[in-house]
């Protein structure tokens, strides 16, 4: 059995020992804690196929999508925060790419999109599925020489236009904070509005002098966010602490009649407040930690409204 359970450690172990072309090939790997039998079996299938291909001297041009996924799950995915989700998604797509070469990735992704669309999945969900598979193949090509060319160049993904922003005001934020009965969750609400940080970023932020320091952000860059004077009193509740805010947040938004409001909307509220105070989009993007200007363009209409207000003042008496 290539997969067995280490009773002492409580984890699955992958063990490969086969003769391929008269040569014995061996490999052993301890799989992550928490993996199920299904996950372990899927890893066995992917990694065994890859090891066979390597032992048989399969060239780069002959590499399969299965090989790429196996390499990705072994060497790259375990370092990612959403590893469990990636594993499940790539495992669920196995029948779609089984036996297909990396050169067929565009066709495979197109077929996945069509099938998922017929199943009624949202464009954002379909986009994620294709993006995961494309990322696996591109990683294997770039870092492990699988495939002759970038397999993701001709892959198309659905366009997603389902952004929904609730731009709550400072008065709304204060209502939510006052309605929140938990002091830590209340502090999180105020910090989100006055910093533009995501919930996970608030949980991980370190306080250094007069700044929040984020060593690991969504886009991978280190980020420094100045601490607004009005939230200095909140710092004692948040210093690098992970906290379950969801329950208290839902109770607070229900109490003030904002049942559709997401905690993430406080981040958008911060952007709105900055723009209403005359801050340019570039600076707003820097505060929110956007890597590219394209991410800040979602707030362009707010800036346009402010410009219209300024233009409207022309010709009026002081």
Task: Read off the pLDDT of residues 98-127 as tens digits, 9 standing for 90 and up.
Answer: 989 988 999 999 999 999 888 888 888 898
From CA 128, how far away is CA 124, in angstroms rounded? 6
Per DSSP, 197 falls in state -
> What is the pLDDT, as a whole number, of residue 305?
66
Q: What pLDDT sits at residue 201?
A: 87
Report d(CA 20, CA 55) in Å as an integer: 6
What's the length of the chain? 318
Backbone angles phi, psi at 18, to 5 degrees: -140, 160
Q: Please give the DSSP secondary-structure letter assigned to residue 31.
A: P
- Spatial distance between the Cα atoms of 221 and 208, rounded to a whole number of angstroms: 17
Tokens of 195: 């910093």
Instruction: Please name the helix (run of DSSP H) or strand (run of DSSP E) that holds residue 187, with its range, or none.
Output: helix 183-195
CB-based burial label for 246 (10 Å; 0-12, 13-18, 19+):
exposed
From start to end of the chain, where are the E strands?
3-6, 11-20, 23-30, 206-208, 211-214, 223-226
Rounded mean pLDDT of 259-264? Answer: 89
Q: Are 266 and 282 in contact, with CB atoms under 8 Å apart?
A: no
Helix (H, G, I), strand (E, B) or coil at 59: coil
Domain ranges of the chain: 3-144, 170-312
164 — phi, psi (to 5°)?
-135, 110
What is the distance in angstroms between the CA of the first residue and the CA of the last residue of the chain?
A: 85
Strands of 195-258 (E only): list them: 206-208, 211-214, 223-226
For a pLDDT cut of 70, what percent of the chain falls above it?
83
Q: What is the largest CA-CA distance in the chain?
A: 93
Angle between helices 265-276 and 170-179 (to 10 degrees): 140
Token pair belonging to 84 = 């469990």
Calculate mean pLDDT across residues 249-276. Answer: 90
pLDDT at 286: 85
Q: Is residue 140 very low, low, confident or very high in pLDDT (cuts 50, 70, 90)?
A: confident
pLDDT digits (tens, 9 = 90+) for 291-316: 777 667 777 767 676 666 666 677 66
| Predicted pLDDT at 175 | 95
- Model pTM score: 0.52
Q: Tell me which of 3.50.50.100, 1.10.10.10, 3.30.2270.10, 1.10.443.10 is the CATH number of domain 170-312.
A: 1.10.443.10
Mean pLDDT of the chain: 82
CA 125, CA 1: separation in Å to the nearest integer?
36
């Amino acid at each position: 059995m290539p997969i067995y359970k280490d009773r002492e450690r409580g984890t699955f172990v992958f063990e490969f020992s086969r003769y391929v072309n008269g040569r014995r090939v061996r490999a052993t790997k301890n799989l992550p804690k928490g993996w199920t039998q299904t996950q372990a079996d899927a890893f066995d299938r992917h990694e065994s196929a890859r090891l066979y291909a390597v032992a048989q001297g399969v060239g780069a041009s002959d590499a399969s999508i299965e090989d790429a996924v196996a390499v990705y799950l072994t060497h790259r995915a375990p370092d990612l925060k959403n590893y469990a989700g990636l594993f499940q998604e790539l495992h669920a797509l196995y029948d779609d790419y089984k036996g297909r070469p990396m050169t067929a990735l565009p066709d495979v992704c197109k077929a996945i999109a069509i099938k998922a669309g017929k199943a009624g999945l949202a464009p954002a969900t379909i986009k994620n599925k294709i993006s995961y598979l494309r990322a696996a193949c591109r990683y294997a090509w770039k870092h492990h020489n699988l495939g002759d060319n970038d397999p993701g160049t001709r892959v198309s993904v659905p366009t997603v236009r389902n952004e929904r922003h609730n731009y709550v005001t400072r008065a709304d934020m204060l209502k939510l904070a006052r309605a929140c009965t938990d002091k830590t969750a209340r502090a999180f609400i105020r910090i989100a509005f006055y910093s533009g940080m995501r919930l996970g970023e608030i949980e991980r932020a370190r306080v250094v002098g007069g700044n929040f320091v984020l060593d690991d952000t969504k886009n991978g860059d280190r980020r420094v966010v100045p601490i607004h004077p009005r939230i200095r009193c909140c710092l004692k509740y948040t210093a690098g602490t992970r906290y379950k805010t969801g329950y208290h947040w839902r109770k607070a938004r229900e109490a003030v009649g904002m049942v559709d409001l997401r905690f993430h909307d406080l981040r958008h509220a911060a952007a709105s407040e900055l723009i209403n105070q005359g801050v340019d989009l570039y600076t707003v993007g820097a505060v929110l930690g956007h890597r590219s200007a394209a991410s800040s363009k979602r707030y362009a209409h707010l800036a346009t409204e402010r410009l219209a207000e300024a233009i409207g003042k022309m010709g009026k008496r002081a």
